Amino acid sequence: MVTGFLSDVRYLEHDTGLGHPECPERIVVVKKYLEKLSWFKGLKQLKPINPELDRILKIHSSAYVNRVKQSCEKKLNILDTPDVVICEKSYEIALLSVGGVIRLADELAHGNIKNGFALIRPPGHHAEYDKAMGFCIFNNIAILARYLQKQHGVGKILILDWDVHHGNGTQNAFYSDPSVLYISLHQYPFYPGTGSESETGEGKGLGYNLNCPMKTGSTDRDYKEAFIKKILPKIKEFKPEIILISAGFDAHKDDPLANVSLSTDCFKWMSERMLEMAFEYSGGRIISVLEGGYNLKVLPECVAVHLESLCT
């Protein structure tokens, strides 16, 4: 089986305006870079589907979904917070991002791919049950996790989030749910203000939320130490049936929106560790979803090392 690669030119139609970091060019530069690499031709190229709304309503309220739709129909420029810039097409394209991760889930469940990466936008891990935040409209990876459970009978799911910003929306979606282990490495204290070590879940989900807050200036060594001492032991204890990755690349030393100092090679190293965990516990099954990453030179390089690791 091959690795699946999902993207679509329509993701460029989510227009965030001049100077916004989460811009259409992010997709353009990554795709151009990948197309020059010899191994990229061997990937299975996939397109998103149009998702059923009830998939989204497993994570977001119907009132919120309607508000997103109406805001775009009214041609408003802002959704909930000033950093979530929208246009008339944003609702449609946010649905298409959800449709991208669902397509990958179906392909993986049917045995057509061994793993997959979704080059999509807008990103999702900050989106809450009833609120847009941090460039995010719908929480793609949370919707994906619930879809895998409800549609394909997957039980225990690991979500690893290495975006430099804590995935508050994803954490909250599963905070009392022992079937989803959420693990995040992120700069702290930093936007959005959540993600302390003390946030470990509640009720039946207590112990199924692991935050690894990283100090400003953290390096490859710090991240590898967190993996070895905290993350890998937790994964081995949990034994996930599938691994999902919120793959943000804004912890890179050259990213303009944060202050963590990872090398490109560190993303390769983390990818390899997750592959090892997937082969040990999950039949090799991984779906990785683009979150952040805002340096247009570095982002393609980081995606490439991550995606090439999935191909091995």
Task: List active site positions.
Answer: 126
- Between CA 82 and CA 92 the distance in angstroms is 20
Neighbours of 129 (CB within 10 A): 14
Bridge partners, residue 130, by sequence: none
Neighbours of 286 (CB within 10 A): 26
- Between CA 220 and CA 231 the distance in angstroms is 15
Q: Which two tokens stand for residue 170?
A: 């994803």
- Between CA 149 and CA 143 the distance in angstroms is 10
> HSE on the CB side for 37, CA within 13 Å?
17
- Residue type at position 137: I
- Between CA 96 and CA 120 the distance in angstroms is 9
Contact 182, 310 (CB under 8 A): no
Neighbours of 189 (CB within 10 A): 12
Enter the DSSP assignment of 72: H
SS3 sequence of 274-291:
HHHHHHHHCCCCEEEEEC
Neighbours of 196 (CB within 10 A): 12
- Between CA 183 and CA 122 the distance in angstroms is 22
H or E stretch covering 152 = helix 140-152
- Residue type at position 204: K
